[in-house]
Structure 1
Amino acid sequence: MNIRQLEAFRTTMMVGTVNGAADLLGLSQPSVSRLIAELEKELGVTLFNRAAGRLVPTPEGRMIHEQVENTFRAYQRIGELAADVRRLRVGSISIACMPALGITFLPAVMARFCEAHPDVDISLDVQSSTKVEDWIATERIDLGLAEVPYDREDLSVDEFCNVPYYAVMKKGDQLGQKSMLSPADFVGRAFISTTAHYQARPHVDRLFESRDIHRVMRIDTSFSHATCELAALGVGVGFIDPFSVHGYLDRVDVRLVDPCITFRVGLLYPRSRPLSKVGRTFVSFMKECRDRWLAEVAAACRPHV
């Protein structure tokens, strides 16, 4: 039994004659008759009674026709689904992301993506980088954003960004008079530091300790956006990634520091499960938004006149 036999039977049932079915299918009348005869032989069921030159469906033929119609509707649904997939009218993606990119950056990406593809479902979990890695390795999610470096062989990684941390301070702070800062500029300044689980923390501490520079270690915070808020309120200065500070550019000044400390983030995927078209399209939206945000933060590094 094959699809051509079923198609010949179905079309004959629709139009009532073999000649009519042959015209619709672009076949000869003998070809349609042969396909129906082959189907009857394979099924062991008489599908039509032949009387006075006409084909009259048998009760068994009508029952089988009902199932054939279900089959063709299923074929049609497969085609429609494939078209929806191609046009991103259906699908879903699950994402886990470290807080620095999960609080403001990814929601901004999601807003633009959902506007362009309103029928795609998205789930977002904001988690630590370590948990993001674990979830990717166990295929709990489709896509992850986590800070690197890490030592994992059970997931696939593409670089998402490798950019400098910025010094962040209250708008109008005297440090903002310089276009580039050095560690010496922070002598005696109240410093807002990230907690020890941040990968940047030991690098920042070594930057100052190796130069015997004393900061006033006033506040530790485990949340990068809290660093921005505290800096905006004038509590102190800190080092921050460009994604966290982007939404604060109207309230804070940002400056590069030489030597710089880099913020590296990887795009993580399950090793044995490639991204779907929905996932690949979402990544392209992320990269477009990333480039725009990084350019806007870099443009904000202008000294006070």
Structure 2
Amino acid sequence: MSIENNKKFDLKVLEAFLAAMSCGSMTGAAVYLGIGQPAVTRMIKELELSVGFQLFHRNGPRISPTDRGLRFHEEVERVVAGLRQIGQRADAIRTEKVASIDIAATPAMAAGLTGATLTALGEFLPQQINVQTMNAEHVIGALRSRTADFGIAASPIDHAGMVRHVVCESRLVGVVSDASPLAHSRAPLPLSVFADQRLITVGNAFRIRHTIDQAFQKSGIIPPSEFATNASLNAIMAARSGLGIAIVDPVTAYGVPVNGVKIVELATEMPYSWELLRDANRALAQHSSAFVDAFYKACLATVPDCTVKMAEGVTSFPQSQKTLPGTAP
């Protein structure tokens, strides 16, 4: 492996860096790797010289990552995972077994849909499955670097060089504690209830949060307080504790059931969509085609009333119209 300055990086050195990041000390990394502490220290110093910047702050035996070290860690973790996958794929070729499936997904998609999708694969389920969670931008990066076969992320997302195999459309939902009087109402939840309720939601300004902000601006309602987090599941748990009312994506709400809460429809529709993507330059093998069909079925089974569009067209299909190869409708 090399980068633009043509310096080459040994896999053992990169693994020593990852171990030091995880363990928080050179000594801990050495124990984890089964080598001497001086060897780990030497490899980290060599890596710092190669990249041209400091990876760790050092305070005696304790270390802490620099800002550049944290950013570099994200890249190294993804590349090393890809190198390990090469070995798995080589084994699959040697044994003529179905290759592994490598999935890059945002946390909401990984938690809410990957389990149902893989279960729906049936006989096409490979022995080796790799699921990595990351933000949407890194999902695209994993597809382009070919460290992932499929990417799953919420829209909007960069489609350059990507095939959109499945596009799903639904709407954001409200989540309230079972102890809230709102949990017993059958009517859709109006935004007016937020005039005196804390809003709990996800803080990504370009996806869920942008949609929510637009809806509140149009309604002229400003919640008196707010709980913002980077994951819908955190928002749901906060709502369960009675901190307020959560507005979250339907994939997490329905795909990761949580006791003690009720999912409620919002009177103001806030669109939400997500996609299954693949690098356009990669051929779609039989087991990969089965994964597309399984994802289609998982979305319909998980999220009520969602609209699913396949890559072959732009029309919605009833659930019974698509089945996995070799299975009955």
Q: Is the 8 A contact 2:174 2:246 kept in 1?
A: yes
Structure 1 segments, 4+ long, off by >4 Å, are none
- Are residues 118 and 131 of structure 1, via their aligned partners in 2, closer, same or farther at CA, if it must alter by over 3 Å? closer
Q: Which residue identity is paired with 1:226? A: N
Q: Which residue identity is paired with 1:98? A: T
1:295 aligned counterpart, secondary structure: coil
Instruction: Determine which of 148, 160, 164 is the counterpart of 2:155.
Output: 148
Q: Is the 8 A contact 1:142 1:275 kept in 2?
A: no
Q: Which residue identity is paired with 1:282? A: F
Q: RMSD value over aligned CA atoms?
A: 2.6
Q: Describe the superposition over 1:119-143 as per-residue Cα deviations: whole angstroms up to 9, x where unpaired.
A: 4422111111111012213333111
What does residue range 246-257 of structure 1 map to in structure 2 within 5 Å?
Answer: 246=254, 247-248=256-257, 250-257=259-266
Q: Does 1:260 align with 2:303?
A: no
Equivalent in the alignment of 1:167:
174
Alpha-carbon distance between aligned partners in 1 of 2:248 and 2:260, rounded to the nearest angstrom: 14
The TM-score with structure 2 as length reference comes to 0.58
Equivalent in the alignment of 2:233:
225
Q: Does 1:286 align with 2:295?
A: yes
Q: Taking every aligned residue pair, what percent have the same amino acid on both sides?
A: 18
Deviation of the 1:273 alpha carbon? 0.9
Q: Is the 8 A contact 1:175 1:185 kept in 2?
A: no
Alpha-carbon distance between aligned partners in 1 of 2:109 and 2:125, rounded to the nearest angstrom: 22
1:215 aligned counterpart, secondary structure: coil
Q: Is the 8 A contact 2:200 2:246 kept in 1?
A: yes
Deviation of the 1:111 alpha carbon? 4.5
Q: Is the 8 A contact 2:124 2:290 kept in 1?
A: no
1:94 aligned counterpart, secondary structure: strand
Deviation of the 1:268 alpha carbon? 0.8
Alpha-carbon distance between aligned partners in 2 of 1:119 and 1:152, rounded to the nearest angstrom: 27
- Are residues 168 and 124 of structure 1, via their aligned partners in 2, closer, same or farther at CA, if it must alter by over 3 Å? same
Q: Is the 8 A contact 1:191 1:217 kept in 2?
A: yes
Question: Where do 5+ consecutive residues of structure 2 fail to align?
Answer: 1-91, 307-329
Q: Describe the superposition over 1:153-187 as per-residue Cα deviations: whole angstroms up to 9, x where unpaired.
A: 22111333110110111114222313212211221
- Are residues 118 and 280 of structure 1, via their aligned partners in 2, closer, same or farther at CA, if it must alter by over 3 Å? closer
Equivalent in the alignment of 1:105:
113
Instruction: Determine which of 127, 135, 142 is the counterpart of 1:128.
Output: 135
Instruction: Determine which of 205, 215, 240 is the counterpart of 1:207.
Output: 215
Deviation of the 1:102 alpha carbon? 0.7
Equivalent in the alignment of 1:192:
200
Equivalent in the alignment of 1:236:
244
Alpha-carbon distance between aligned partners in 1 of 2:156 and 2:125, rounded to the nearest angstrom: 35
- Are residues 233 and 163 of structure 1, via their aligned partners in 2, closer, same or farther at CA, if it must alter by over 3 Å? same
Alpha-carbon distance between aligned partners in 2 of 1:179 and 1:250, rounded to the nearest angstrom: 21
Alpha-carbon distance between aligned partners in 2 of 1:296 and 1:280, rounded to the nearest angstrom: 24
Deviation of the 1:219 alpha carbon? 1.3
Q: Is the 8 A contact 2:208 2:248 kept in 1?
A: no
Q: Which residue identity is paired with 2:167? A: F
Deviation of the 1:207 alpha carbon? 1.1
Higher-Rg member (1/2): 1
Q: Is the 8 A contact 2:190 2:266 kept in 1?
A: yes
Q: Which residue identity is paired with 2:282? A: R
Q: Is the 8 A contact 2:201 2:232 kept in 1?
A: no
Question: Where do 5+ consecutive residues of structure 1 fail to align?
Answer: 1-80, 298-305
- Are residues 151 and 296 of structure 1, via their aligned partners in 2, closer, same or farther at CA, if it must alter by over 3 Å? closer
Alpha-carbon distance between aligned partners in 2 of 1:284 and 1:150, rounded to the nearest angstrom: 21
2:156 aligned counterpart, secondary structure: coil
Q: Describe the superposition over 1:23-57 as per-residue Cα deviations: whole angstroms up to 9, x where unpaired.
A: xxxxxxxxxxxxxxxxxxxxxxxxxxxxxxxxxxx
Q: Is the 8 A contact 1:188 1:214 kept in 2?
A: no
Q: Is the 8 A contact 1:166 1:254 kept in 2?
A: yes
